[in-house]
């Protein structure tokens, strides 16, 4: 009872603050979004490194964007083992984009995108010597928000990390992912409009949080608080820290929430490229130039992998279209972690987020295509383990669209069902605005809206269990007395065992209720919106095989075809750097080597010193070279390889030096075999080496690595 009282008091304290947050780091305000031409309630903060942590201003800066999905800001930095903590420990400058609990009247989602673009530009301006554009980390709602920002401003950001971010809201499989049916169950988004009107133009984020909680009644109604009760000596502090964030819902402008519900939750228009900004520009995710890292989990019932990755299948008809677009997409799927664990779990922070941070430069130069991030734990037998930072070796293995299709998803009938929901929603919203809104507008005011928010059950439970409740006076004193005389029961106490068994039975019963409820909702949805009569009434034809397909863009295809012709024509133009990159990409196109290994990239860093001017090549320029050479080989591998000798200098020593770099990188992750070894031999011949020596030398390099460290300096080069 005293822990619940403290939770209520924490809630009251947070509500009284002008800018509540749960960041566990000191910070300085760099930009206040309320000062912009189109003011918003967002702000850009510079995170101050904690004692003992040093950052290098010349390294790539990171910006963590927190989700405005009902809760307040700070989840990306609640603990030192967090996204922010990982970035700082890696030596990178770190910034944070948070928000105030009250929106600026009149702000829109488009205004927020404009503000985020200003924030990214400001960070880049503060780090002019940084080797790479700012990397963005977007959690949940912030993930699709930064994707929209990047699509409208493709030249601004560096790599994007989308953690638990839904982008394809209709996607999923039968028997799972019940949240996607909610729009159909409610008849569309008219209830969103009603909630905004009852709030006098303000939508209460507590409604969103309540939806999340309803998905797992066993945890919401029993397990979370029982865990505190049963382990009050150790769980109280953890519970209070989390509830300080979970129990403080923020507000949104009603038009903001309506935009989200209409275009994303129900309309699913982001992944079909059918959203336009106020100037008429289409928000097309294919315009994003930066690499996109999608981190999702099978244990996430709010953003399952299908919704995190389905947009890729919506955007591209085949693998060639993805490669020709120049877009690099990487995904990683955790097996068990839940939605919130993606952001707050120390285990995830010290593995996935740490590895993504350390491998960001490699991510930034990956050739276009689809990859899966694989984490290999280091062992005493791991080859060249020192070349990989952390406790894992990170590999990006080439995948194809069929690999995403194999995860499951909607068929044509499901697509028509969800399209029917979107059209029913439009009808219901139109009827509501015509017949109900005028009546409400006459009786709703700021006072009634605030009273309604304060009576929301989500907020009420915090006030009931707080020091404001006179019936709880004295609880603190009694709890202190109990703490002083605490005598926990023995682990084998029979009553404790009975208590645990009873708790498990309650949780199991609630889980059964959830499963029955979700199954009934799914059957209702499939039967109702699968009705040919209903679909016909809302204007859907039964022979539509794909009711939402992005379709071909002739202008885009013309630009790509022109660039392709130009690249093929210039296949013989370049120098030693281009020759080395093309040779390596040619080798790694072998079926058994379709992966990028951070050990190989650690050796490849030396290549950036091989610029024509004898100075270190910038990461941006290096990325351009890699992508150009990858597209040459992708569009015409034979012609690209045939032109390879034309890129090499005439000097035999320089050719040998270039070939040595190729051998070191190609052998960094292990000896070559099969087609990869054959390609290495052909490259060696193209570089002027005797054919018989090529395989032997490559094998020798793998068995006796040259010892190129993370700073790119070669040791033992003569021995290699």
Residues 663, 580: contact at Cβ < 8 Å?
no
Give residue 326's pLDDT. Answer: 84
376 sits in which H/E element: strand 369-377
* First CA to last CA distance, the chain: 69
Domain regions of the chain by residue span: 20-183+265-405, 554-703
**Residue-level length of the chain:** 720
Query: How many whole angstroms separate alpha carbon 78 and alpha carbon 209?
Result: 19
Residue 604 half-sphere exposure toward CB, CA atoms < 13 A: 27
- Owner of token pair 């927020």: 112
DSSP code of residue 50:
P
Q: For residue 683, report the phi and psi dihedrals to the nearest 5 degrees.
A: -65, -45
Structure confidence at residue 658 (pLDDT): 87
Number of neighbours of residue 401 by Cβ within 10 angstroms: 16
Burial class (CB in 10 A: 0-12, 13-18, 19+), 669: buried
Residue 338: burial class (beta carbons within 10 Å; 0-12, 13-18, 19+) = middle
Running DSSP on this structure, what letter comes out for residue 538?
T
Q: What is the pLDDT of residues 690-705, one digit of tens each?
A: 644 444 444 444 444 4
The HSE-up count of residue 545 (CA atoms within 13 Å, CB side) is 0
Are 57 and 127 within 8 A, CB to CB?
A: yes
User: Helix, strand, or coil here: 135?
Assistant: strand
Q: What is residue 710's predicted lDDT score, i.e. its pLDDT?
A: 27
Which ranges in 394-539 belong to alpha helices (H)? 401-405, 412-435, 437-441, 446-454, 457-464, 475-484, 494-529, 532-537
φ, ψ of residue 520 to 5 degrees: the values are: -65, -40
Q: Specify whether the backbone of 157 is left (phi greater than 0), alpha (psi in -120 to 50) or beta.
A: beta
The pTM (predicted TM-score) of the whole model is 0.90
**Integer Cα distance of 557 and 555 in angstroms:** 5
CA 103 – CA 255 distance, rounded (Å): 11
Burial bucket for residue 186 (CB in 10 Å: 0-12, 13-18, 19+): middle
Cα Rg for the chain, rounded, in angstroms? 28
Segments in 140-205 forming alpha helices (H): 141-152, 182-185, 190-198
According to the model, what pLDDT value does residue 144 have? 97
Whole-number pLDDT of residue 700? 40
Q: How far apart are CA 649 and CA 654, in angstroms?
A: 7
Q: Which CATH class is domain 20-183+265-405?
A: alpha beta
Strands (E) in 518-622, as ranges, are: 595-597
H, E, C per residue of 227-285: HHHHCHHHHHHHHHHHHHHHCCCCEEEHHHHHHHHHHHHHCCCCCCCCCECCCCCECCH
80, 51 contact by CB (below 8 A)? no
CA distance 126 to 471: 54
- Whose tokens are 């084998």? That residue is 492
Q: State both tokens at 261.
A: 């519900």
Distance (Å, rounded) from C-alpha 92 to C-alpha 130? 10
> Is residue 423 within 8 Å of residue 397, measured between CB atoms?
no
- Per-residue pLDDT, 543: 67
* Strand spans (E) along 102-199: 135-139, 160-163
> For the chain, which residues score pLDDT lower than 50?
612-613, 691-720
Helix axes 674-686, 576-588, angle to 10 degrees: 160
Inter-residue contact 325 to 316 (CB < 8 Å)? yes
* CA neighbor of 20 nearest in space, from 243, 207, 221: 243
Count CB-CB contacts under 10 A for residue 383.
16
pLDDT at 597 (0 to 100): 79
CB 28 within 8 A of CB 258: no
Tokens standing for 622?
């290096």
Q: Is the Cβ–Cβ distance between 141 and 115 less than 8 Å?
A: no
Contact 309, 177 (CB under 8 A): no
Q: What share of the chain is helix, strand, coil (3-state, %, to 5)?
A: 55, 10, 35
Q: Measure the CA–CA gap between 264 and 419, rounded to whole angstroms.
A: 12
Find out whether 684 and 619 touch, Cβ atoms under 8 Å: no
Q: Name the residue among 454, 426, 114, 30 with its Cα closest to residue 251.
A: 454
CA atoms within 13 A on the CB side of 191: 10
| Gap between the Cα atoms of 152 and 316, Å rounded | 19
Instruction: Give the count of beta carbons closer than 10 Å to the beta carbon of residue 320.
Output: 11
**103 near 70, Cβ under 8 Å?**
no
Q: Quick one: pLDDT at residue 720?
A: 27
Does residue 594 contact residue 665 with C-beta atoms inside 8 Å?
Answer: no
Say how far apart CA 36 and CA 256 lie, in whole Å: 18
Burial 638-667 (b: 16+ CB within 10 A, else e): eebbebbeebbeeeeeebebbbbbbbbbbb
Q: Count of CB atoms within 10 A of residue 558's CB?
A: 10
Residue-level pLDDT at 544: 62
């Amino acid at each position: 009872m005293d822990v619940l009282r403290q939770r209520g008091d924490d809630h009251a304290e947070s509500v009284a603050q002008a800018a509540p947050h749960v960041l566990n780091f000191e910070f300085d305000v760099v930009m206040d979004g309320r000062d912009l031409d189109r003011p918003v309630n967002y702000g850009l903060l510079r995170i101050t490194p904690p004692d003992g942590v040093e950052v290098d201003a010349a390294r790539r800066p990171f910006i963590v964007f927190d989700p405005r999905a009902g809760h307040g800001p700070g989840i990306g930095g609640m603990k030192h083992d967090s996204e922010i903590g990982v970035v700082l420990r890696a030596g990178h400058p770190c910034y944070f984009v948070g928000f105030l609990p009250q929106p600026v009247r009149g702000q829109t989602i488009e205004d927020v995108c404009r503000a985020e673009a200003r924030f990214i530009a400001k960070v880049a301006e503060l780090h002019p010597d940084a080797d790479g554009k700012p990397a963005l980390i977007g959690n949940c709602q912030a993930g699709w928000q930064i994707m929209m920002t990047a699509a409208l401003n493709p030249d601004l950001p560096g790599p994007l990390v989308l953690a638990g971010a839904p982008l394809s809201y209709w996607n999923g499989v039968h028997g799972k992912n019940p949240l996607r049916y909610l729009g159909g169950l409610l008849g569309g988004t008219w209830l969103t409009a009603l909630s905004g009107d009852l709030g006098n133009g303000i939508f209460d984020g507590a409604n969103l949080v309540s939806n999340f909680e309803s998905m797992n009644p066993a945890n919401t109604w029993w397990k979370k608080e029982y865990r505190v009760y049963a382990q009050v000596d150790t769980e109280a502090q953890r519970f209070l820290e989390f509830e300080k964030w979970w129990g403080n819902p923020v507000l949104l402008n009603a038009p903001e929430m309506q935009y989200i519900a209409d275009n994303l939750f129900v309309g699913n228009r982001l992944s079909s490229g059918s959203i336009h900004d106020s100037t008429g520009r289409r928000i097309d995710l294919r315009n994003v130039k930066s690499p996109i890292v999608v981190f999702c989990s099978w244990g996430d019932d709010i953003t399952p992998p299908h919704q995190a990755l389905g947009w890729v299948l919506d955007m591209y008809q085949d693998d060639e279209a993805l490669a020709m677009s120049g877009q690099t997409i990487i995904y990683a799927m955790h097996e068990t972690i839940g939605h919130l664990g993606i952001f707050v779990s120390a285990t995830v922070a010290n593995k996935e987020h740490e590895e993504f941070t350390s491998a960001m430069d490699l991510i930034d130069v990956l050739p276009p295509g689809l990859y899966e991030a694989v984490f290999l734990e280091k062992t005493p037998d791991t080859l060249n383990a020192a070349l990989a930072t952390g406790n894992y070796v990170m590999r990006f293995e080439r995948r194809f669209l069929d690999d995403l299709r194999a995860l499951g998803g909607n068929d044509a009938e499901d697509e028509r069902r969800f399209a029917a929901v979107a059209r029913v929603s439009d009808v219901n919203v139109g009827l509501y605005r015509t017949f109900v809104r005028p009546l409400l507008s006459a009786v709703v005011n700021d006072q009634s809206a605030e009273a309604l928010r304060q009576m929301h059950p989500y907020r009420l439970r915090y006030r009931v269990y707080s020091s404001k409740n006179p019936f709880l006076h004295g609880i603190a004193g009694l709890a202190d007395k109990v703490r002083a005389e605490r005598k926990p029961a023995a682990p084998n106490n029979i009553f404790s065992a009975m208590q645990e068994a009873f708790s498990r039975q309650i949780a199991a019963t609630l889980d059964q209720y959830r499963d029955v409820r979700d199954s009934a909702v799914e059957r209702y949805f499939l039967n109702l919106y699968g009705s040919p009569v209903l679909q016909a009434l809302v204007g859907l034809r039964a022979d539509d095989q794909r009711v939402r397909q992005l379709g071909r863009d002739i202008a885009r295809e013309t630009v790509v075809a022109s660039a392709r012709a130009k690249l093929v024509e210039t296949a013989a133009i370049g120098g030693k750097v281009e020759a080395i990159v093309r040779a390596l990409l040619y080798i790694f196109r072998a079926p058994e080597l379709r992966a990028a290994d951070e050990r190989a990239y650690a050796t490849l860093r030396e290549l950036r010193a091989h610029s024509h001017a004898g100075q270190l090549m910038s990461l941006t320029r290096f990325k351009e070279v890699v992508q150009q050479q990858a597209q040459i080989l992708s569009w015409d591998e034979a012609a690209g390889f045939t032109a390879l000798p034309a890129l090499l200098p005439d000097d035999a020593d320089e050719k040998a030096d270039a070939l040595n770099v190729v051998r070191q990188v190609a052998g960094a992750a292990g000896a070559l075999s099969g087609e990869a070894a054959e390609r290495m031999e052909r490259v060696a011949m193209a570089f002027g080496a005797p054919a018989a020596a090529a395989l032997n030398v490559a094998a020798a390099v793998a068995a006796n690595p040259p010892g190129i460290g993370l700073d790119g300096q070669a040791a033992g080069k003569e021995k290699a």
